[in-house]
Amino acid sequence: TTELQAIAEELSAAGAAPQLGVTSSDEDRLGVSVGEGAITGTYEVEIQTRARTSQLAGQGYADAAATGVLGTGTAVLDVGGNQVNLSIGSGQDSLEGLRDAINNAGLDVQASVIDDGSGATGQRLVIRGTKTGLANAVSLDASGLSGGSQPLTLSTLSAAQDAIVVVDGLTVSRSENTLRDVIPGVTLDLGAETAPGETIRVDVDLDQEATADRVTELVDAYRDIVNKIRDASQPGDETVAAGPLIGDALASTALRRLQSASSGAVGAGTILTPVDIGLETNRSGNLDLDRAALISALETEPENVATLVADLATRLEAAADELTTSGTGLLEVRAESLDSRARDLTRQIERRELSLEGYETMLRRRFTALESLSSRYQSQAGLLAGLSPIPQGGN
């Protein structure tokens, strides 16, 4: 029942809220996903700017490892207003030395030395922030380094900036390109900027298919556990062994609990019973789902369907818990009872085996004694047979 419990718990936790879905008219430029707290609605989103990181680059050098080039002293690294003084001593004043000092500063920044392919002076220091947004802007003041043969000069390849979007005419800015608090319950992933005035449509609506899929999964899990209980209580034949629960009242008890839970769910409006959403118990005692009927009910009374599904899930979760709860579940209690009985039978078998072994030992001793006695008799018979007959007459 593990799968049944998991699905039922998920649907039960969703309460009486119908499942929502979200779509974007341009998934490449604006990815969307839905979560808790979403409400139905349509939104127009203009992506004016995406959030970016700072990226700086120095001029070209011939050798990234050469010292005596940048100069010694103190360079000041600033990331989002957090400043660290980088002490550059003799033997460290190379591109690689300054790179390592930046990377060891403990700030949200990464430095590297790259070859830009320009030839003899293609070694360049590149500094990039690891977080987007103006609040994480990066700068490096190398004016405190002196005595070098080629002081460092930095240029801005990319300035830090915030993401700016306009949602239904309201302009908002964030430091990241993943916006989770602009539209309730909806996450926006900014992929590319739109043209000025161009908008992307975001629709939050009922997701009938997703809800139907979850109900279908619940029914499939229910059917699976019912089939397993039935298989375990079937008599065997020449080809198939009898089930372990044959003749056991637990099987019928478990089926009654599940069937009672599935048929007792209550909704609202005109969606009052499982039958109203296409859920019926068939002649074999299992559940059948009319998906078309479920979709139709979702289209007309989604809130009431959600109420019924949540109650159904709650009842099935409780029934599954009653069967499997550790220590008190019917299946576990029955399993422990069977284990105890098996242990008793094992002990009885062991005692009987010991008794049989003792009986076998006694019989062996008797047999040995009989063989010994028989051997003695045979020996005496041989001696008697070898004696000469006693003469008859006077001599």
DSSP string, 308-320: HHHHHHHHHHHHH
User: Which of helix, strand or coil describes residue 272?
Assistant: coil
Distance CA 223, CA 279 (A): 12
CB atoms under 10 Å from CB of 42, counted, come to 10
Q: Tell me how far CA of residue 222 lies from CA of 7, 228, 267, 268, 320, in angstroms.
A: 10, 10, 20, 23, 10
pLDDT value for 19 = 76
CB atoms under 10 Å from CB of 282, counted, come to 9
- Taking a C-beta distance cutoff of 8 angstroms, is the pair 14, 310 a contact? yes
pLDDT value for 387 = 67
Token pair 């009431």: residue = 304
- Taking a C-beta distance cutoff of 8 angstroms, is the pair 161, 134 a contact? yes
Handedness of CA 230, 233, 236, 242 (dihedral sign): positive
Residues 6+ apart with CB under 8 A from 249: none
Weakly modelled stretches of the chain, pLDDT under 70: 1-18, 236-250, 323-341, 382, 386-395
CA angle centred on 271, ends 268 and 277, rounded to 5°: 140
pLDDT value for 16 = 45
Percentages of the chain per state (helix, strand, coil), in multiples of 5 = 40, 25, 35
Helix (H) or strand (E) holding 154: strand 154-158
**Segment 24-68, tens digit of pLDDT:** 999 999 999 998 888 889 999 999 999 999 999 999 999 999 999
Helix (H) or strand (E) holding 373: helix 330-386
